[in-house]
């Protein structure tokens, strides 16, 4: 075997050494220190030397971990401004009311979380008192991503501030009565308070990064200067296990997002137990973030530890803290001083001597109570360091105790995440600890009271004065009164009405052509935000590169290889396109930030995110829910859609189910347009509804999902019949009849059938229409079903109206009323998509679709495999008519044999 040391020496030999003797002296010095003072001393010297080199800007690999101590020494901490005693009283009230709210709600069995806010109270309170900017100054303020399980503490502060009342607190997690509070940050449920939904773990940190990045984008493009806005993301150490939590760390550092701070509450616990039982999560996270280029600030130990660190003249204490696994730290939290003396201090002779100088009370104070995240001074120092650091984002690793101040029954217990209430005696102990003026007699019939010092109390006045100085209440969501965007010029849409003539055009290309015209609109063009995950060339969007530019904070520091070509790759500091690379999750986070800019910044932006259809809803449906919860507006475009239109790619690319998933999202208006003029009509309606004048009863807080196809086909002219636009938007209209299509039917008194086609399937249906007439004497009318999902929703609303005693006929029933014969619906998606409307169709119903897994083949081969090609449609239509006795049963067998089915 090769000696690994020899390999290392060989590698070093490849580096030029202009002074080998000096190098040997340094190495000999290190060997001497290790021999004389031990390896710990040698390691200490090396770390300090590397830190000095880093501080002097010498290009060396960074240390990934530092000692398990506070980044900011006590002597370097800035003074805490304001009135610390007053802030402590305010925090005490908020702790109490947060716990009371959840405990009082427990009698209804609705759940709630007490321990998270108890651990993080000072992390929030310090920010609210000194850092978090409200929206009353510039309309944007700071963006706060609140940890979902800490919501009771935020409600408690809003109660103290007068923004919530006791009835609302008592309706925590009981919203159906109309005066309740949602369990977690849900903008759709409490839109005046919450800006960002965060409880789907991992999406908060990902979205925060892209929000900070989008802020820079808005400023760079001259839409609005939001350079003073700071993004704060409050996270749990357990949440960092989610891949999305760390998916974009490199982006944040690469683009120097010093307008972003992560605050990770390291209480060392997740839902079932320790986050890293046998390891140290703080050190792991530090290495991960430092390796990604972030500034890391650790706030681990409270001031009670200062005496211990002063006594540590050998470094034994720091070494011991570094080696004790997290689960054992949790155990110390619940054990007496004798146990800690033996297990922690007893492992090293120097620590044994140190422990002799410490009282039991001192040991318990340090190991039970004193954490960096529980002291306003420590937290303030960390926050100040974060906002003043330039050139990179900052992560604050704040160590806390989960269940802090809730008593021995909660603190650091593995089950405390599921513990929903305190007993009266536990509340009284908490009251005494927090020094709150709540009397025993206030506990009426064993019910814990809410506490409030009074609307004109010094505490409330101080709280409100601090918020006024920082720009108003926070968190707060404001939809600023802005004028609707003017509608783009009609010619951009009308140009598609005449069709493509003899040219074959895919609907993907039709959409891109429409966007090219819309981004040139003088009024609204600059507000479009094209988002694409490294597939722009696939979708024919490369022509937008030189005209719009790809956003990059560095501009273009190189000469592109295709500079001499018309459609060269162009990056620019004010670029309009967000080309995110191979990350659908990052692109969706971009989309969410842009789609909610109308509320976050008072600037309406029109994002469209175009993606490989299969890699949208299947991969990032959780973010689509986040988008709906955050009341986002914009266009999601699933390109290369359908199960049979993308030749050769096969199962993992053949999308036959996205509309099924999209149908489950109440905020998603799902369309499967067949023709270019349908695409234009839907986009025009979306701009009107989301950004213009929504009709009475229309919710503008929706997003449009369009499927577009990569199959070049003739694009017909828009029919001239009345009601076409209404049908396109509502989901169904008659495209033609066999008579209007000029197709002669072989038989007199021909049986008739209604063929519904959605998306690209309408082309097989049109072919089947002609075959049925000319070969089998059957007259077929063809309908374009632009949205089975919207038809179903309209029908469901009609059913609900009927329960209220209101007569209302579903649109699909009105549209098909009087249509002769049965109905056969055909889709390039699963039959579940068209079958959504079956129960509201009065005629006999059947459907064809591409169920099962996709496969690699030609389009023709795939369609024959799934039984959705024109020949299969003909056979299915004949079978449906045969069941009704309108064609001979032998015709079905004859057709199968004729077409080789």
455 φ/ψ angles, rounded to the nearest 5 degrees: -60, -25
pLDDT the model gives residue 17: 79
3-state secondary structure of 733: strand
pLDDT the model gives residue 3: 47
Q: Which residues pair with 297 in a beta bridge?
A: 396
Digit-coded pLDDT (tens) for 243-264: 999 999 999 999 999 999 999 9
Cα–Cα distance for residue pair 434/891, rounded to 1 Å: 86
Q: Which residues pair with 231 in a beta bridge?
A: 143, 260
pLDDT the model gives residue 63: 79
pLDDT the model gives residue 5: 43
Tell me if 292 sits within 8 A of 247, measured CB to CB: no
DSSP string, 664-704: T-TTEEEE---SHHHHHHHHHHHHHHHHS-PPTT--S--EE
Long-range contacts of 446-452 (CB under 8 A, 24+ apart): 447/104, 448/99, 448/100, 448/103, 448/104, 448/422, 448/424, 449/100, 450/97, 450/100, 450/101, 450/159, 450/166, 450/169, 451/93, 451/96, 451/97, 451/100, 452/93, 452/97, 452/159, 452/160
Distances from the Cα of 607 to the Cα of 214, 356, 510, angstroms: 12, 65, 18
Angular region, 670: left φ>0, alpha ψ -120 to 50, beta rest: beta
Cα–Cα distance for residue pair 624/664, rounded to 1 Å: 11
Digit-coded pLDDT (tens) for 360-414: 999 999 999 999 999 999 999 999 999 999 999 999 999 999 888 887 766 655 5
Whether a cis peptide bond, with omega within 30° of 0, leads into 84 is no
68 alpha-carbon distance from chain centroid: 32
Give start and end residues of each alpha helix (H) in 495-641: 507-518, 544-548, 584-595, 597-600, 617-629
11 φ/ψ angles, rounded to the nearest 5 degrees: -65, -40
Under DSSP, the state recorded for 190 is S
Mean pLDDT over 722-736 rounds to 96
pLDDT the model gives residue 749: 86
- Six-digit token string for 318: 């720091």
Of residues 302, 324, 309, the one with CA closest to residue 354: 309
Which contiguous run of DSSP H or E holds residue 86? helix 84-105
Digit-coded pLDDT (tens) for 464-474: 999 999 999 99
Cα–Cα distance for residue pair 367/899, rounded to 1 Å: 81
pLDDT the model gives residue 416: 54
Cα–Cα distance for residue pair 188/197, rounded to 1 Å: 9
What is the residue-averaged pLDDT of the chain?
93
Cα–Cα distance for residue pair 490/560, rounded to 1 Å: 37
Number of residues that this document lists for the chain: 901
Q: Taking each helix axis from N to C terminus, what angle separates 761-776 and 870-883, rounded to the nearest 10 degrees?
A: 60
Digit-coded pLDDT (tens) for 85-129: 999 999 999 999 999 999 999 888 898 888 899 999 999 999 999
Cα–Cα distance for residue pair 345/556, rounded to 1 Å: 57
Asked if pLDDT for residue 785 goes beyond 90, the answer is yes
Cα–Cα distance for residue pair 889/895, rounded to 1 Å: 10
Asked if pLDDT for residue 516 goes beyond 70, the answer is yes
Cα–Cα distance for residue pair 73/849, rounded to 1 Å: 67
Distances from the Cα of 616 to the Cα of 208, 239, 586, 640, angstroms: 20, 24, 12, 11
What percent of the chain is predicted at pLDDT more than 70?
A: 97
643 alpha-carbon distance from chain centroid: 27
pLDDT the model gives residue 10: 42
Which pLDDT band, with edges at 50, 70 and 90, does 6 fall under? very low
Which pLDDT band, with edges at 50, 70 and 90, does 747 fall under? confident
Q: Taking each helix axis from N to C terminus, what angle separates 349-356 and 316-323, rounded to the nearest 10 degrees?
A: 110
pLDDT the model gives residue 482: 67
3-state secondary structure of 231: strand
Of residues 294, 326, 531, 517, the one with CA closest to residue 412: 326
Mean pLDDT over 763-780 rounds to 96
Asked if pLDDT for residue 135 goes beyond 60, the answer is yes
Torsion of CA 413, 288, 209, 257, to 10 degrees: 130
Of residues 766, 632, 617, the one with CA closest to residue 691: 632
Side-chain half-sphere exposure of 59, counting CA atoms within 13 A = 0
Mean pLDDT over 515-524 rounds to 94
Mean pLDDT over 695-701 rounds to 92
Asked if pLDDT for residue 12 goes beyond 50, the answer is no
Cα–Cα distance for residue pair 723/579, rounded to 1 Å: 39
Q: How many CB atoms lie within 10 A of CB 581?
A: 10
Tell me if 290 sits within 8 A of 62, measured CB to CB: yes
Digit-coded pLDDT (tens) for 820-878: 999 999 999 999 999 999 999 999 999 999 999 999 999 999 999 999 999 999 999 99
- Six-digit token string for 534: 């490294």
Cα dihedral across residues 737, 739, 743, 744: positive or negative: positive
Side-chain half-sphere exposure of 203, counting CA atoms within 13 A = 26
Quick one: three-class SS letters along 361-421? HHHHHHHHHCEHHHCHHHHHHHHHHHHHCCCCCEEEEEECCCCCCCCCCCCCCCCCCCCCC
pLDDT the model gives residue 413: 58
Please name the residues in contact with 663: beta carbons below 8 A apart, sequence gap of 6 or more: 670, 789, 792, 833, 836
């Amino acid at each position: 075997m090769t000696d690994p040391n020899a390999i290392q020496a060989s590698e070093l030999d490849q580096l030029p050494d202009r002074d080998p003797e000096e190098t040997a002296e340094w190495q000999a010095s290190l060997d001497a220190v290790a021999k004389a003072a031990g390896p710990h001393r040698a390691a200490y010297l090396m770390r300090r030397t590397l830190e000095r080199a880093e501080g002097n800007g010498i290009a060396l690999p960074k240390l990934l971990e530092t000692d398990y101590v506070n980044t900011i020494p006590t002597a370097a901490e800035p003074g805490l401004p304001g009135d610390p005693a007053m802030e402590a009283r305010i925090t005490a009230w908020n702790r109490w009311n947060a716990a009371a709210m959840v405990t009082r709600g427990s009698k209804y069995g609705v759940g709630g979380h007490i321990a998270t806010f108890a651990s993080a109270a000072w992390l929030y309170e310090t920010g609210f008192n000194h850092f978090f900017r409200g929206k009353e100054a510039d309309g944007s303020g700071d963006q706060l991503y609140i940890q979902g399980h800490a919501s009771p503490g935020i409600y408690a502060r809003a109660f103290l501030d007068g923004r919530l009342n006791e009835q609302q607190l008592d309706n925590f997690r009981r919203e159906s009565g109309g005066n309740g509070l949602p369990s977690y940050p849900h903008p759709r449920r409490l839109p005046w308070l919450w800006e960002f939904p965060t409880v789907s773990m991992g999406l908060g940190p990902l979205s925060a990064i892209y929000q900070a990045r989008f802020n820079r984008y808005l400023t760079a493009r001259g839409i609005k200067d939001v350079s003073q806005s700071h993004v704060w993301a409050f996270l749990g150490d357990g949440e960092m296990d989610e891949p999305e939590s760390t998916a974009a760390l490199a982006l944040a550092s690469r683009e120097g997002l010093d307008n972003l701070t992560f605050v990770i509450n390291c209480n060392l616990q997740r839902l079932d137990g320790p986050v890293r039982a046998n390891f140290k999560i703080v050190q792991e996270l530090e290495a991960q973030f430092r390796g990604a280029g972030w500034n890391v600030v650790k706030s681990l130990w409270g001031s009670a530890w200062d005496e211990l660190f002063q006594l540590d003249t050998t470094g034994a204490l720091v070494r011991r803290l570094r080696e004790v696994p997290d689960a054992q730290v949790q155990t110390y939290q619940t054990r007496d001083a004798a146990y800690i003396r033996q297990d922690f201090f007893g492992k090293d002779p120097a620590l044994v001597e140190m422990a002799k100088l410490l009282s039991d009370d001192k040991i318990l104070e340090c190991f039970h109570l004193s954490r960096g995240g529980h002291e306003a001074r420590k937290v303030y120092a960390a926050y100040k360091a974060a906002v003043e650091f330039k050139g990179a984002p900052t992560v604050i690793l704040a160590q806390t105790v989960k269940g802090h101040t809730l008593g021995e029954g909660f603190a650091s217990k593995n089950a405390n995440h599921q513990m929903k209430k305190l007993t009266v005696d536990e509340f009284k102990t908490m009251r005494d600890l927090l020094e709150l003026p709540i009397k025993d007699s206030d506990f009426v019939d064993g019910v814990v009271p809410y506490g409030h010092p009074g609307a004109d109390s010094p505490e409330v006045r101080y709280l409100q004065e601090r918020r006024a100085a920082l720009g108003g209440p926070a968190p707060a969501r404001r939809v600023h009164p802005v004028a609707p965007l003017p509608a783009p010029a009609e010619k951009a849409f009308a140009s598609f009405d005449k069709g493509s003539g003899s040219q074959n055009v895919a609907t993907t290309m039709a959409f891109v052509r429409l966007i090219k015209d819309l981004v040139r609109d003088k009024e609204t063009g600059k507000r479009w935000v094209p988002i694409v995950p490294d597939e722009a060339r696939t979708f024919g969007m490369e022509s937008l590169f030189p005209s719009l530019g790809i956003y990059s904070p560095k501009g273009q520091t190189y000469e592109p290889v295709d500079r001499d070509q018309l459609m060269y790759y162009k990056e620019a500091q004010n670029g309009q396109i967000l080309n995110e690379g191979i990350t659908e999750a990052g692109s969706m986070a971009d989309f969410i930030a842009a789609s909610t800019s109308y509320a976050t910044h008072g600037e309406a932006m029109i994002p469209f995110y175009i993606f490989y259809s299969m890699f949208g809803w299947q991969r990032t449906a959780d973010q689509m829910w986040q988008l709906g919860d955050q009341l986002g507006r914009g266009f999601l475009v699933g390109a290369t859609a359908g199960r049979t239109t993308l030749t050769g790619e096969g199962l993992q690319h053949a999308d036959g189910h996205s509309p099924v998933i999209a149908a489950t999202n109440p905020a998603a208006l799902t369309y499967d347009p067949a023709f270019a003029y349908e695409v234009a009509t839907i986009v025009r309606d979306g701009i009107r509804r989301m950004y213009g004048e929504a009709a009475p009863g229309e919710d503008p807080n929706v997003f449009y999902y369009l499927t577009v196809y990569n199959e070049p086909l003739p694009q017909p002219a828009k029919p001239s019949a009345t009601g076409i636009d209404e049908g396109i938007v509502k989901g169904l209209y008659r495209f033609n009849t066999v008579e209007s299509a000029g197709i002669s039917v072989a038989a007199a008194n021909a049986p008739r059938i209604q063929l519904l086609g959605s998306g690209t399937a309408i082309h097989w249906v049109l072919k089947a229409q002609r075959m049925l007439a000319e070969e089998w004497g059957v007259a077929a009318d063809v309908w374009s079903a632009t949205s089975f999902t919207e038809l179903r929703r309209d029908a469901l609303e009609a059913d609900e109206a009927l329960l209220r005693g209101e007569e209302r006929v579903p649109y699909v029933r009105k549209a098909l009323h009087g249509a002769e014969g049965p109905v056969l619906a055909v889709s390039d998606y699963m039959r579940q998509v068209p079958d959504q409307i079956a129960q509201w169709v009065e005629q006999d119903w059947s459907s064809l679709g591409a169920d099962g897994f996709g496969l690699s083949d030609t389009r023709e081969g795939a369609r024959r495999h799934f039984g959705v090609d024109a020949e299969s449609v003909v056979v299915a239509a004949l079978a449906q008519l045969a069941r009704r006795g309108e064609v001979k049963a032998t015709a079905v067998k004859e057709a199968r044999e004729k077409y080789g089915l």
